[in-house]
Amino acid sequence: MQRNRNKLLDKVKKEVMELRSQSLHNAVIINLLREQPSQQLKRSWDIEIKVGKRPIFQLPAKVNIMQVFDRMKGKLLLLGNSGCGKTTTLLELARKLIIRAEKNPNTPIPVLLDLATWQNHHQKISNWLVNQINIKYNIPHQVTINWLENRLLLPLIDSFDQVPTELSEYCLEGINKLSVDFQPKHLVICSSFTAYKNCYNKFRVNAAVLLKPLKTNQIQDYLLVARSRELWSYIQDEPELLNLAKTPLMLSMMTLAYEEILMAAWMRITSKQEKEKYLLNAYIRSQLGVENNYRFYSKRKEPLPEQTRRWLSWLAKRMAAENLQEFRIEKLQPSWLNYHGELQAYQLTTNLISLISVLFWGFAFGFILTLIWQWQLGLIGGAISGLIGGILSLPGIKKLVLRIILFSHGHIPWNYRRFLNYSASKLLLQKVGNRYQFIHYLLYKHFLEM
């Protein structure tokens, strides 16, 4: 049991470190300030707390999320608009909880879970949790069940707002049922304020933590510290751009993408959605043009920007179709092929190669066995060997054919892992172990709509 506990802690710790190091806030500090960020990245947004029916109160700047967690006995709901810092706050809490769990073997183990992977209202949240811990961290189901029953898990549940609207009540009730059935000592849930407000029922937690949009003076301080005085001079008198900058994610993107933004053109855009779209496109251009220390491709051999956009757009569409929040190359499936010739070509090619494989192994072993034994035994042995050889080589053949077809139709480059690592180095994707995800849900939706 202790070995599994250490294994899970190590994996969660690595996941948290990798996700925090690949955040946009972290990139601003390193790329613009030329500094290494401290272990605790200072939040620039205000936090308000709501406990029961008591009045809302603002959290002092010196009080961190871990102190709130302890005061509220470890049962919190994190609320805020998309891009407001919920996941950043959750990761900071996870980092401190891991340190605590490493020091005390009786402390529950924090685990990061994404509710966007829950899409079946017939599935119990407890079963979903067990399956996700098995998929993400390779922990056996029974071990996780034992931990749940003994209150040794600390679920940190993100993305309630990404559950389909028609399923949100089922999901909320399922999480509350988890709280009643297993009575975890601690539980933290993240959601957008809008998604939670529209729910009839409420989570069984001790307090709601609301992450507020940035104030004008906070935006100014952030940009001046990030050496973006010129950007501040442009947006300070533009209410719509200033309003966009109130979201920490958008402010970080503005800071990183400033050189790719034509301010006069951006100011002329009237729609908020089009302004966001312009910024996301500028951010992508900026990241693809930035030099970094990673050398996944030799000089002038990097994918063209339009290739990168096309490949990532295709990946986003396939992940949406398969309801995936994370992608692994090993999980590429024939279902990712379209029905306009690709799937038929795959089936025909795999069947043909399988037949050739069977004949090859059958002939090879049959010939050898005929030389050793009588020809009748050689034929029988060759037939058996051909079938066995064909079956054993079939999975490898299917994967190879799938990659060839996806490559030949321009959906992926030949060396797909190198491209995904390259995209992660450009802060378009995030990489955790052998899993990849888009750096933020807003960017994922942007590629999805390309």
**Do residues 45 and 155 share a domain?**
yes
**Residues 131 and 223 grouped into a single domain:** no
Q: Is residue 162 part of a domain?
A: yes
> What is the pLDDT, as a whole number, of residue 40?
44
Name the token pair of 192.
């957008």
Which residue, of 268, 289, 310, is where some domain finishes? 289
DSSP 79: E
Q: How many CB atoms lie within 10 A of CB 257?
A: 22
CA–CA distance, 358 with 384 (Å, rounded to integer): 9
Residue by residue, pLDDT tens for the chain (450 residues) are: 688 899 999 999 999 999 988 888 777 766 555 555 444 445 566 788 878 777 777 777 778 889 989 999 999 999 998 888 898 899 999 999 999 999 998 899 999 999 988 988 899 999 999 999 999 999 999 999 999 999 999 999 999 999 999 999 999 999 999 999 999 999 999 999 889 988 999 999 999 999 989 999 989 988 888 778 899 999 998 999 999 999 999 999 999 999 999 999 999 998 999 999 999 999 999 999 887 667 788 877 889 999 999 999 999 999 998 888 889 998 888 888 876 778 777 777 666 665 555 444 444 444 444 545 554 444 444 444 444 444 444 556 778 888 888 998 899 999 999 999 999 999 999 999 889 999 999 999 999 998
The residue out of 184, 211, 238 marking a domain boundary is 211
User: Residues 93, 19: one domain?
Assistant: yes
* Terminal Cα-to-Cα distance of the chain (whole angstroms): 47
| Contact of 66 with 36, CB cutoff 8 Å | no
Domain match, 193 and 261 both: no
| pTM of the model as a whole | 0.84
Would you say 342 and 402 are in contact if contact means Cβ atoms under 8 Å apart? no
- Indicate whether 273 and 335 sit together in one domain: no
Statement to judge: residues 186 and 203 lie in one domain: yes
- Tell how strand 109-114 and strand 207-211 pair up: unpaired
Place of tokens 């609301």: 210
Residues 10 and 103 placed together within one structural domain of the fold = yes
Cβ contacts of 67-72, under 8 Å, gap ≥ 24: 68/207, 68/209, 69/93, 69/97, 69/186, 69/188, 72/205, 72/206, 72/207
Task: Give the torsion through C-alpha atoms of 358, 361, 364, 367, to 10 deg.
Answer: -60
Question: Containing H/E element for 190?
Answer: strand 187-191
Instruction: Quote the domain boundaries for residue 280.
Output: 216-289
- Structure tokens, 433: 């172990």
Indicate the helix (H) or strand (E) that contains 82: none
Quick check: is 321 in a domain?
yes
Please indicate, yes or no, if residue 294 is contained in any of the structural domains: no
Number of alpha carbons in the 13 Å side-chain half-sphere of residue 84: 23
Q: Are residues 446 and 358 in the same domain?
A: yes
**One domain, residues 202 and 60:** yes
Q: Is residue 204 part of a domain?
A: yes
Residues 137 and 221 both lie in one domain: no
Helices (H), 64-167: 65-71, 86-103, 125-137, 141-149
Q: How far apart are CA 255 and CA 29, in angstroms?
A: 10
Q: Are 69 and 188 in contact (CB under 8 A)?
A: yes
